[in-house]
Structure formats: structure tokens, C-alpha cells
Amino acid sequence: MHEMSLAVDLMELVKRYVPPSAYLMTVTVRIGPMHGVVAEALQWAWSAVRGQSAWPQAKLVIETPPWRLSCPRCGRLWEPATVDEHCTCGSVHADIEGGDEFALVSVEVADSDESVENQPRPEVVGHCGLATVV
Amino acid sequence: MKTIPVVENVLKLNDEVALLNRRQFTQAGVFVVDLIGAPGSGKTALLEATLKALAGRCRTGVIVGDPATSRDGERLGRYCEQVVQVNTGHGCHLDANQVRQAMGRLNVTDLDLLFIENVGNLICPVGFDLGQNAKVGLFSVSEGDDKAAKHPHLVLTADVLLLNKIDLLAYVSFSRDRFMEDIRHLRADAEVIELAASKGLIKAWIDWLLPRCRTR
């Protein structure tokens, strides 16, 4: 369950980018499959973490780029279903070209005078039998 | 509404503490190993055998992470004086801050080699830099030959991979060829060392360690 640790660290990092008078609306991250992060679990963890922050409605958008491999023998670049997929040329080696990303991509903020009340209410998020209303 | 582009590692804050740890380790002249493996892969047994083999040759210490109990710390305390047990509770990995707190309980300047036995887990510990010099991935034949393929992050980032319990090869379903093929697919140059820690067959591992740390 490293998603909770990630959500806590993500919030601490995001705080550095939100101007003092602004309201955090949306955080976008890009996490490749190499990191084994379960998007649903990270959303659940984020909903818990944001509830303890000054921005309890801040949304998390998770971009999940696919694995991308290149073949050192024939130069083919492809997106395999799983990372152990071999190249069609028969080479047993592959180089990782994508899927290892782990980045905070952007932070969307609103001026404090923009109405936060007009934002839609967050949905109820459930995970592993737990339900959290934020 | 304004969008602020960032592109920053999500674990930047952990990495900042890890950098402090690494600086302190470097100043102390201690070589630090982060040992990552599944529960039951033999991490503690490997460290017991390793500490025994290194007795009198270099000064060793251990930070050991477990969700609960001090059993591993007690086992390892028989072989070296400086052992700190970290209980992570529900946490599935050690982070740089926990290691930093544990460092406060150690006299790192009196060490040549520090092992960090991470929480038994092949996924979560891999992404968290602790300030180590070497990340070591431990697999064992009793886990099955598909574990390397299923955990590419560890295979791709470890400085060396260990395959433990090879004394059990005759008793379990494990294809050495398949295991190695999966590793070579991801990393043609990966170094893999075979061991049987509980039988004391760890010479190749000791030979890997010794040139990397200060010896007496």
C-alpha cells in the first residue's frame, strides 16, 4: 500500500507550487506501469490526504503511459501488453523507452475569489471494503 | 483558473532526505546496502551468514524494517553490535526519513558497512531512495521462476540481483533458464549471484561486497 505514502508525498510537493492566495483545483501526475502503482488505490489515498488539507476538493488526474520497448537488434519500437514480451525479430533483449515515468506534471489553481462553492461535490470513493466520504 | 506546469519527481521530498543520508554516509566512509526481497526470501538469513563471514574483517551495522516485532533485530544482534529495528506498522517499505531517524541511533562513523534490510516486499521499497550506495534485489527459488518478470522495477534498478536457496533446486519447480531469460530480457548486463544463505554458501556475495567497503 505505498499509494498512501505517495499521496502524502505528492501533497507535500504540490504545496510548494500553490501560490498563497490560490486554491488547488487539480493535480496531474504521470505514472508508468514500472512503479506498480494502483491508480484506484492512489485515488483513494488522495481523497484521504486532500481531506486533511486546505483543498478538500482537489482532484487528482493520473496519466498512465504504457510500457514502450525498443529492440537493440532490429531497432523496433513497440508498446507491449506486458514488459516481458519479446521482439518479433526473436531478440530476447529489450531496452525500456517508456513506462518508467513518475512525475508531477501540473498543478491547476484558482484565484481565491473564484467561487469554489460552484465546484461539483467530490464523489464517494471506496477501496478495499472501506468507504470514505470527503 | 491557471495551470502551473511542473514535471517534478513525485518522490522529490523523499529524495531530498535520501541525499542528506547519502552525504552523511559518504562523510563517515560507510558503504550502505539496501536489501530488498519478498517475505521469506531469506533476507535475514542472508544477513546472518554475511555478518558471520565478515566478523573481524569490517565493522558492520544493520537497520532492519518490519511491520511489527523486533525478531529480526534480535537475530541480527547476535552478530553485530549496531542494530536498529524499525517497525513500520502498516507501512510496506522504509523511506529515507525513517532511515534518517534510525541513523540517529547508530554511530555510523564507527561502521564500514551498513545493511538496510527493507520490509519484505518486491514492489513498494523499490521506488524509495534511502541514501544507499547499492540496491540489492533478493529472489529465492522457492518463490518461483517468474518473480523477476513480475517485478521489473527491481530488476531494472538493482545494482546486483541475488538468487537464494539454490540448495532447494532439486525440490521445487524452478527453471533457472527461464528466470535468467526474464532478467536478460530487461537487462542484458544484470549481475546475478546464486546463494544458499542458510547453508553458508555465500562466497560470491562476499566477494562482491568486500571490494566495495573499507576493510580492516
- Judge whether B62 lies within some domain: yes
**CB spacing of B188 vs A93 below 8 angstroms:** yes
Pairwise CA distance, residues B109 & B26, whole Å: 10
Tell me what percent of the residues of chain B surpass a pLDDT of 90: 91
**Domain membership flag for residue B4:** no
In a mutational test of the A interface, the residue from B3, B6, B129, B145 whose CB has the highest number of chain A CBs within 10 Å is B6
Is residue A80 very low, low, confident or very high in pLDDT (cuts 50, 70, 90)? Answer: very high
Q: Does residue A134 have a pLDDT over 50?
A: no
Residue among A9, A83, A111 whose CB faces B11 most closely = A9
Which cell goes with B165? Answer: 536457496
Q: What is the CATH number of the domain that holds A44?
A: 3.30.2320.50
Note whether A51 and A85 are same-domain residues: no
In chain A, how many domains are there? 2
| % pLDDT > 70, chain A | 83
Q: What is the pLDDT of residues B77-89, one digit of tens each?
A: 999 989 999 998 8
Nearest by CB: B10 against A13, A94, A96: A13
Strands (E), B26-151: 31-37, 60-66, 82-87, 113-117, 134-140
CATH of the domain at B77: 3.40.50.300
Phi-psi region of B42 (alpha: psi -120 to 50; beta: other; left: phi over 0): left
Domain encompassing residue A36: 2-65+101-114+121-132
DSSP code at position A61 = E
Would B137 be classed as within a structural domain?
yes
**Residue B134 belongs to some domain of the structure:** yes
Is residue B105 situated within a structural domain?
A: yes
Number of structural domains, chain B? 1
Q: Are residues A44 and A84 in the same domain?
A: no
Facing residues of B87 across strands? B66
Q: Which residues of B touch A41 (CB under 8 A)?
A: none
Which 40-69 residues of chain A touch chain B by CB within 8 A? none
Domain that holds residue B86: 12-212
Looking at the fold, whether A6 and A32 belong to one and the same domain comes out as yes
Co-location of A106 and A75 in the same domain: no
Question: What does the alpha-carbon distance between residue B121 and residue A51 come to, in Å, rounded to a whole number?
Answer: 29
> Within this chain, do residues A125 and A83 fall inside the same structural domain, yes or no?
no
Q: Encode pLDDT of B89-136 as tens digits.
A: 888 899 999 999 999 999 999 999 999 999 999 999 999 999 999 999
